[in-house]
Amino acid sequence: MKRNLLLTPGPTQIPADVCAALGRPIIHHRTPQFQDNIKEAIEGLQYVFQTKNEIYLLASSGTGAMEAAVCNLLSPGDKAITVEGGKFGERWTELCKAYNAEPTVIEVEWGTAVDPAKIKELLDQAPETKAVFVTLNETSTGVVSDIEAIAKIVKETSAVLVVDAVSGLGVVDCQTDKWGVDIVCSASHKGFMLPPGLAFLSVSDKAYKVIEASTNARYYWDLRKSKKAFAATDTPFTPAIGIVVALCESLKKFKAEGIDNLLANYGRLAEGTRAAARALGLSLFAKDDCISNVLTAISLPEDVDGGKLVKTMRDTYGISVAGGQGHLKGKIIRISHMGCIDEYDILTGISCLEKTLKELGYKFELGVGVAAAQKVFNA
Ligand code: PMP
């Protein structure tokens, strides 16, 4: 019998007790019982977001939180800055355009991170800029941005800093309050180890003032409604009840392990994966100075068909990894090391990668990838 191991950058593996919580009978959301869940979820999220800001729960995937940020902050014609170094950076630009705002796009070579000085330059040129939209972990390339440095710059201006931490939160560091990030968007199905369907975003006082002043039309994503509900430990519409209940279970694990330990452990899994790729003679897509611990994007030799590699690993051996997106389709694979996985899952993934690469005719010594990862894990 085949198992299905998810080494994909979302959805991720869900722990057994979180799965069990998802199977509990549904409760009504306008009850003191569910209010306890909301309270627990918000407190736990504040711990992971490293913030005292209010956090709003939305029934949607991660893009819903991103759209909520855009449509609440920007009025038509407003200036914004977006950073495009991959698929998800592009999404910020698309969202801004959808709401008739005017984004200035910083195009970054895929596999590299934005130079914060470029953001400063644009903010100096256009001090009326309402918001700067960046990505913590660019999932299409495996690059992590220097949010701390970017926040330092944006903090000195009237612009609001919005971070897409959909895949990064709880996996790589994001010190919302200490660094001064105004809005952090995330979702249930990545680092939080839950099914998709729940998104969340934290909102600073500075951001909320811009939200109140915005003239843009909005309804379901209206964060003024979320704020009002938040004050009453409620949500404006029917929440994703089952996922909120399970979120409380997942958040207990963050507290029990401690965020710093969790991040360090993901770092080790990432290091082992990178060592395995290098030992196999493969290069890493992201540059060393911005390589992410969320996932490893591995460039494939020209004669290896990336689509076939991913399909064989999944359909023949039950190990799901992700292929490339956009112009990287077929050219890279992306192995995620987030969610409920450990070093043995990574070793399984690497050994499956080796087996499949051999079948596809790539020449290397069988076992070298697994051995390299083992060395990191046993150091
Ligand atoms: N941003 C990033 C960095 C992501 O990885 C994803 C999902 N892969 C999204 C946004 C979009 O999230 P969703 O598919 O949940 O809407």
8 C-beta closer than 6 A to ligand 1: no
62 C-beta closer than 6 A to ligand 1: yes
Mean pLDDT of 118-126: 98
- Are 43 and 183 in a shared domain? yes
Q: Are strands 332-336 and 295-299 parallel, antiparallel or unpaired?
A: antiparallel
pLDDT-above-90 percentage for the chain:
99
Domain boundary among 256, 279, 312: 256
- Are 239 and 327 in a shared domain? no
- Of 63, 295, 325, the one to substitute when testing ligand 1's pocket (max ligand atoms within 8 A of C-beta) is 63
- Are 333 and 195 in a shared domain? no
Domain boundary among 235, 256, 277: 256
58 alpha carbon – ligand 1 mean position (Å) = 14
Helices 116-125 & 147-155 angle (0-180, nearest 10): 20
- Are 282 and 139 in a shared domain? no
Mean pLDDT of 95-109: 98
Of all protein residues, the one whose alpha carbon is nearest to atom 12 of ligand 1 is 62
- Are 95 and 230 in a shared domain? yes
- Are 91 and 171 in a shared domain? yes
Output the domain CATH number for residue 138. 3.40.640.10
CA-CA distance, 60 to 180, in Å (whole number)?
A: 26
What pLDDT was estimated at residue 201? Answer: 98
What pLDDT was estimated at residue 2? Answer: 78
- Are 132 and 164 in a shared domain? yes
109 alpha carbon – ligand 1 mean position (Å) = 20
Helix (H) or strand (E) holding 29: none
Mean pLDDT of 236-249: 98
Distances, alpha carbon 328 to alpha carbons 109, 304, 331, 376, in Å: 13, 13, 5, 28
Mean pLDDT of the chain: 97
- Of 88, 194, 321, the one to substitute when testing ligand 1's pocket (max ligand atoms within 8 A of C-beta) is 88
- Are 291 and 369 in a shared domain? yes
Output the domain CATH number for residue 290. 3.90.1150.10
pTM of structure: 0.98
Number of separate domains in the chain: 2
- Are 177 and 206 in a shared domain? yes
8 Å CB contact between 320 and 313 = yes
Predicted confidence (pLDDT) at residue 1 exceeds the cutoff of 80: no
CA-CA distance, 320 to 329, in Å (whole number)?
A: 16
295 alpha carbon – ligand 1 mean position (Å) = 13
Q: Is 371 exposed, middle or buried (0-12, 13-18, 19+ CB in 10 A)?
A: middle
Domain boundary among 256, 290, 313: 256
Domain residues for the domain of 203 are 16-256
What pLDDT was estimated at residue 331? Answer: 97
What pLDDT was estimated at residue 324? Answer: 97
Predicted confidence (pLDDT) at residue 150 exceeds the cutoff of 90: yes
Residue 258's pLDDT band (cuts 50, 70, 90): very high
- Are 248 and 295 in a shared domain? no
